[in-house]
Amino acid sequence: MMAARFLRRALPALRQVRSYAEVATGSPQMSFTFASPTQVFFKEASVKQVDVPTLTGAFGILPAHVPTLQVLRPGVVTVFNDDGSSAKYFVSSGSVTINADSSVQLLAEEAVPLDQLDVAAAKANLEKAQSELAGAADEAARAEVQISIEANEAIVKALE
């Protein structure tokens, strides 16, 4: 359903690639803020598209996206700049807010550029977490281990 919504947004862009008038009167620029508590990656920047992984599925945000609030899950955020280049970041969790004036605030609890992650360490952590799952005693410990498994699986998937 999210993918369909994404396609619905992408198709009009393809159809209107030759008409200049749409760009002038149409969607406002997206003011994109992407930050973690210790680092700011984008501050009110103008970007073309952002792909975010949320609890309800991954979707892409273009300017004039319908306003919504979502909670992130561990996964990869891809930012497509106006000049076509893209940057990938791994986020652990957080929230994304899309407002009516096309401003997007992506707040991640922890976010690192993908090239700073080590796939071998991630695989080792994943195996350790999976073995801990068997020994987890109570609900809270089990939930923690499952979060760790989910995050490490996402890292490994992102790096492969």
Comparison of 2 and 119: residue with beta carbon closer to another protein:
2
Q: Give the interface size with another protein as a residue count (CB under 8 A).
A: 26
Comparison of 19 and 56: residue with beta carbon closer to another protein:
56
Q: Report which DSSP code applies to 1.
A: -
Minimum CB distance to another protein, residue 126 (Å): 23
What's the one-letter identity of residue 94?
A: G
Does residue 68 interact with another protein by CB under 8 A?
yes
- Among residue numbers 89 through 108, which ones bind another protein (CB under 8 A)? 94-95, 97, 99-101, 103, 105, 107
**In this chain, which of 17, 18, 21, 38 binds another protein, going by CB under 8 A?**
38
Q: Which residues pair with 31 in a beta bridge?
A: 46, 103
Comparison of 109 and 115: residue with beta carbon closer to another protein:
109
Distances (CA, A) of 63 to 43, 112, 119, 142: 16, 24, 33, 40
Instruction: Show the tokens assigned to 56.
Output: 């309800």
Q: Report which DSSP code applies to 12.
A: H
Kindly report the backbone phi and psi dihedral angles of residue 102, in degrees, each rounded to the nearest multiple of 5, phi listed first.
70, 25
Does residue 29 interact with another protein by CB under 8 A?
no
Cα–Cα distance measured from residue 45 to residue 31, given in angstroms and rounded to the nearest whole number: 5
* Residues making contact with another protein (CB under 8 A): 33, 35-40, 43, 55-56, 66-71, 94-95, 97, 99-101, 103, 105, 107, 109
